[in-house]
Chain A
C-alpha cells in the first residue's frame, strides 16, 4: 500500500508570495491533518479535514488555509508569506470516524518551505 505522498518536497519562496502544498493520503483514509514543524516551536497542528470538511483547526492565522477533495486528497495554502513561515509542513492521514480516536497518524515526508 502506498504511503502518504506530499508535493513538492522542497520549495523556496519570497515574502509576500503564496504557496500551495499537496497531499495524497493512503488509499481508504478519509482524514487528512496538517502540521507545521519548526526548530523553535516543534510540531504544531494546523488543521484536519474529514470528508471534505474541516473538522478541527489549530491556532494559526487566516493566511493558512486548506481544503480536501472528494478523493480525500488535500491541499494547504499559505498566503502573504512571512519569513517565520519557513518550516517543514507535514501531512498525515488516518481512517478514524471520530476525532477522539485519532492517534495513529501516517505521516508523509513533508514539504520543506523556505521563505526568503
Chain B
C-alpha cells in the first residue's frame, strides 16, 4: 500500500528576513541539544549546539534558544539567504544517542 510520510512543518521566508524554527523535545533529563541542517541529497550538517546550563548561544548568523521549563528549542537565522533552504532538525542527546525531531522545511523566496 501507499506509505504515508511525515508531513514536515514548512516555513517560507523572504530573502533577507529572519527565520525562527521551533522544536519541542521530549525528555526533561536531556542536557545537550543540537541543530542540524539537511540539504536535498546530502547528509545532515551540524549547525550549533547548546547545553542545558545555557539559555542562549550564538553562532555565525544563527542563535539557539533553550527554554527548559517548557522543553522548547528554537533556531533563529538572521538575514536568511537562498542557501539556507533546507530541512532543519533539532536533536537531543539521550545517553549518547541523538534523538532527532521530525524536521522543519525552510524555503527562502528570492
Q: Is A75 an interface residue (CB 8 A)?
A: no
Q: How far is the CB of A31 from chain B (nearest CB, A)?
A: 9
Question: Are B98 and A45 touching (Cβ within 8 A)?
Answer: yes
Bound-state CA distance A27–B5 (Å) is: 36
Q: How many residues of A contact B (CB 8 A)?
A: 30
Q: Is A4 an interface residue (CB 8 A)?
A: yes
Q: How far is the CB of B63 from chain A (nearest CB, A)?
A: 17
The residue that B49 contacts in the complex, of A39, A100, A104, with Cβ under 8 A, is A104
Q: How far is the CB of A113 from chain B (nearest CB, A)?
A: 15
Bound-state CA distance A45–B101 (Å) is: 12
Bound-state CA distance A48–B93 (Å) is: 13
Question: Are B89 and A43 touching (Cβ within 8 A)?
Answer: yes
Q: Is A92 an interface residue (CB 8 A)?
A: yes
Q: Is A28 an interface residue (CB 8 A)?
A: no
What A residues does B5 contact at CB under 8 A?
A: 38-40
Question: Are A39 and B32 touching (Cβ within 8 A)?
Answer: no
Q: How far is the CB of B29 from chain A (nearest CB, A)?
A: 11
From residue 39 to 53 of chain A, which have CB atoms closer than 8 A to chain B?
39-45, 48
Q: Is B70 an interface residue (CB 8 A)?
A: no
From residue 78 to 116 of chain A, which have CB atoms closer than 8 A to chain B?
90, 92, 98-110
Q: How far is the CB of A36 from chain B (nearest CB, A)?
A: 11
What A residues does B46 contact at CB under 8 A?
A: 103-106
For residue B5, which residue of chain A has the nearest CB? A39
What are the 5 closest A-B residue pairs judged by CB atoms, nearest first? A99-B96, A107-B43, A39-B5, A43-B100, A45-B97
A-to-B contact residues, CB < 8 Å: 4, 33, 35, 38-45, 48, 55-56, 58, 90, 92, 98-110
Could you show 16 A-B contacts with beta carbons less than 8 Å apart? A35-B100, A39-B5, A40-B3, A40-B5, A42-B102, A43-B100, A56-B96, A92-B44, A100-B93, A100-B95, A103-B32, A103-B49, A104-B46, A105-B46, A107-B45, A109-B42
